[in-house]
Structures are given as structure tokens and as C-alpha cells.
Structure 1
Amino acid sequence: MLDTNFDHMVTVKMIKLVYRLELMVITLLAIVMAWYGLAFLEWNTTLGVMTLIATPIVWLFLVLTSRMALEFLVNQFKISEYLRAIKDRI
């Protein structure tokens, strides 16, 4: 954290923690969405069933989007590391 030259990237080391936290938040969101779907079944069956069907689709979409964004971020840092290694060889 005290590296003022930014030679060592913290983001790459923290990305696993960030992904796990995102998975927990997305899963909690899906649980709440499913709970609302069950609650909707009592007064509007169609809305309740649609919500229950949409819950795993939304969960999967959010997990994939999160994973792709984090992979893109890690990829950018790896490109930077590889370019630094090439620069140091020359």
C-alpha cells in the first residue's frame, strides 16, 4: 500500500475477494427475488411464476457479467505486466 511507484498491483491480488463478495451479493439478491416471487404467488400467480422463472436467469446473467468484467480488468493488468517485462528485456 505504501508503494508510491505503483510497481506492484493490488487489484490483481484483491480480485478473488471482490469476486467472492459479488457472488454473495448476487446470490442474496436472487434469494430476495425468489422470496418475492413466492409472495407474489398469493395474489398474482402469473407474476409469481414469472419472477420465479426469471430468478435463476437473472442470477446467471449477473454472475457472468461480473465475471467478464473482472476478467477484463485482470487481463488489462496482465498486459501491463507483460509489456513491462518486454520493456525490461530491451
Structure 2
Amino acid sequence: MNFDYMITAKLVKIVYLLALVPITLVALVMAWYGLAYLEEGSSVGLITLLATPFVWLLQVLFTRLVLEFVINQFKISEYLRVIKDKD
């Protein structure tokens, strides 16, 4: 029941993979709607299709940045513990 060992570093990989699933599904739905609008001759379809990979990439990058921030906070905590134990 003590919290000396952090499991967050191992869980963050799983969280990242689990986050990729809905992000990719949203991108696929967005592309599908883009194709549907494109068939109707709407320029919105083309814009949607062109924007889909950028939206996917931005969502993946944002998720990665947030998770890296979390990992960074835990590493800082571990380094401080090492410094404290040296004394």
C-alpha cells in the first residue's frame, strides 16, 4: 500500500495506444463525411478530406505532449527523491 514505485510510466504507453483508437476513428469518420460531401459536388468535402490528416496529426501530437508532460512530472519526482536520499 505504499507509493514508492510509480507505475504511471508503464501505464502511459497503454493510455497512448488507447487514445490512438478514438482519434483514428474520428479521422476515419471525418474522411468518410468528406467523401460523402465530395460526391455531392460540395467543396466542403474536399476541404474536409484535406484537413483530415492534419486534424489526426494535431490530436496525436497534443495527446503525446500531455502524456510527456505527465511523465516529466513523475521523473522530476523520482530525481528529487534520489537527491533527497543522497543527503
TM-score by length of 2: 0.93
Letter in structure 2 aligned against 1:13: K
For residue 84 of structure 1, report the CA deviation from its aligned partner.
0.3
Letter in structure 1 aligned against 2:8: T
State whether structure 2 residue 16 is matched by structure 1 residue 19: yes
Structure 1: any 5+ residue segments left out of the alignment? none
Match of 1:30 in 2: 27
CA RMSD of aligned residues (A): 1.1
For residue 43 of structure 1, report the CA deviation from its aligned partner.
2.5
Match of 2:58 in 1: 61
Q: SS where residue 6 of structure 1 aligns? A: coil
For residue 5 of structure 1, report the CA deviation from its aligned partner.
2.4
Match of 2:74 in 1: 77
- Percent identity between the two aligned chains: 61
Letter in structure 2 aligned against 1:56: P
Structure 2: any 5+ residue segments left out of the alignment? none
State whether structure 2 residue 39 is matched by structure 1 residue 42: yes
Say how many residue pairs are matched. Answer: 87
Match of 1:7 in 2: 4
State the distance in 1 between where 2:14 and 2:4 align: 21
Deviates more, 1:6-15 or 1:69-78: 6-15
Letter in structure 2 aligned against 1:25: P
TM-score by length of 1: 0.90
